[in-house]
Amino acid sequence: MALNKKTIDDINVKGRRVLVRCDFNVPLKDGAITDETRIVAALPTIKKIMNDGGRVILCSHLGKVKNGPNEGESLAPVAKSLSEKLGKEVVFVSDYHVTGEAAAKAVEAMKDGDVILLQNTRFRGAEETKNGEEFSRELADLADDYVCDAFGSSHRAHASVAGVTKFITKKGGSNAVGYLMQKEIEFLGNAVENPVRPFVAILGGAKVADKLNVISNLLEKCDTLIIGGGMAYTFLKAQGKEIGNSLVDDSELDSCKEMMEKAEKLGKKLLLPVDTTVVSAFPNPIDAPVDVEYVSTDAIPADKEGVDIGPETCKIYSEAVKNAKTVVWNGPMGVFENPTLAAGTIAVARALAETDATTIIGGGDSAAAVNQLGFGDKMTHISTGGGASLEFLEGKALPGVVAADDK
């Protein structure tokens, strides 16, 4: 899929101030970063601007910031990590106002090739999340050009993702996408719009409502659609099966029936679990030891709850992946946070690791699962954005992409 947008290779940044929106929404434990994937993913774009003599002003959100600005959601640990990885001090502007006097002074003092990091954009609350004009203008005032490299946030029309571009344009600057955005859109776009066939899509996760539009869109594009995770039980119930105490969304039964009919009409294979792993009660805490049984999906006991695909289904799903040329996977097959209930997710991850197909993991829980299980380096592409990759697979336009200048 051709990305007809200006990329970082199309703009001349020498001596110019470039505001780069990254996705540094990294997991923290006791103030330390536990997974630096997103920081590493941003480095190529940052280095490119540094090497070309631009002045890099980085911004990002971190966390949901529900209770106002606080040190626990400050980007300070990110500045430290970036300084180590770039071998150069990244000046951190710790001011909670993000774009205040401290930021202006730091930008003023920059030389070509310097890097600064602004404080968490969500410290500005609704001004950021509701795409506020004032905050958008303040961000643009700091810079000459803007680069969006935050695929994980590109589905949100926030001030630092979308609003800022209007004001950069007004002052004659360029709005481009970075290398990570480019890579994400090319991989996901080609997989969906121009796949090498057979194309197999695997969808899991708990909520069927979140995935219906994706299912509908992918049925038109793929050859085989595999369904697992908690949402599979709503499909099984829609087929008239008893599902015991398993997760179900009764309001979506008709939609599931429609999807099964659509698959049949289009001549696509829609695979549902033939057996399931059941427990008497959901584990509490989620990773507590648990006793399981494997039963056919035609015979789920009334007092049991399905929590993972069963061994027979693992075999069928793995077989379907074996002959594929393109595979897109979004969402785990079961409660993968529990070692006993991760078997289905592990089986699918292993099948993807062993296939010759182009394998694309759609961010979020599936990316976490693949990385935790040690299969990360066997995948062609692991998306950095769960929600963004889902909306992309739905066929929606992403605000962060739309806002970039056309070539």
86 and 161 share one domain: yes
Q: Please provide the average confidence, as pLDDT, over all residues in the chain.
A: 94
Percent of the chain with pLDDT over 70: 99
Range of the domain at 35: 8-180
Give all strands of the β-sheet with 91-92 in edge-to-edge order. 91-92, 115-117, 55-59, 17-21, 145-148, 175-177
Assigned domain for 65 exists = yes
Domain boundary among 180, 201, 235: 180
Q: What is the pLDDT of residue 189?
A: 84
Beta-bridged to residue 146, according to DSSP, are 19, 175
Q: How confident is the model at residue 188 (pLDDT cuts 50, 70, 90)?
A: confident
Q: What is the CATH number of the domain that holds 55?
A: 3.40.50.1260
Q: Which of 198-202, 372-376, 391-395, 400-404 has the highest mean pLDDT?
A: 198-202
Region of poorest pLDDT, from 118-127, 267-276, 386-395? 386-395
Phi, psi at 188, each rounded to 5° = -65, -40
Interval 39-84: pLDDT, tens? 999 999 999 999 999 999 999 999 999 999 999 999 999 999 999 9
174: in domain: yes
**Domain ends where: 158, 180, 202?**
180
Instruction: List the one residue out of 107, 105, 163 whose CA is nearest residue 130.
Output: 163
Residues recorded for the chain: 407
**DSSP symbol at 283:** -
Based on the fold, state whether residues 164 and 203 are members of the same structural domain: no
**Residue 1 covered by a domain:** no
Same domain, 231 and 248: yes
The total number of structural domains in the chain stands at 2
Instruction: Give the lowest-confidence range in 182-186, 312-316, 386-390.
Output: 386-390
Count CA within 13 A, CB hemisphere, residue 96.
Answer: 9
- Is the per-residue pLDDT at 256 higher than 50? yes
For residues 226 and 167, state if they share a domain.
Answer: no
Q: Is residue 400 part of a domain?
A: no
pLDDT at 2 over 80: no
Residue 200 and residue 337 in one domain? yes
pLDDT single digits (tens) 135-147: 999 999 999 999 9
What average pLDDT does this structure show over 287-302?
Answer: 97
Q: Give the catalytic positions in this structure.
A: 38, 207, 364, 387
**What mean pLDDT do residues 322-348 have?**
94
Q: Would you say residue 406 lies in a domain?
A: no
In a domain, 289, yes or no: yes
Same domain, 359 and 220: yes
User: Tokens for 174?
Assistant: 């360029």
Residue 363's pLDDT band, with cuts at 50, 70 and 90, is confident
Question: For 165-180, what is each residue's pLDDT tens digit?
Answer: 999 999 999 999 999 9
**Could you tell me if residue 196 is inside a domain?**
yes
| Beta pairing partners, 152 | none
Distance CA 213, CA 395 (A): 9
pLDDT digits (tens, 9 = 90+) for 26-37: 989 889 998 898
Q: Which of 60, 169, 41 is nearest to 119 (CA)?
A: 60
Cα Rg of the chain, angstroms: 23
Cα dihedral 314/316/318/320 (nearest 10): -150
Strand partners, 388: none
Q: Which tens digits make up the pLDDT trace of 194-238?
A: 899 999 999 999 989 989 999 999 999 999 999 999 999 999 999
Residue-wise pLDDT for 72-115, tens only, equals: 999 999 999 999 999 999 999 999 999 999 999 999 999 999 99
d(CA 200, CA 212): 17
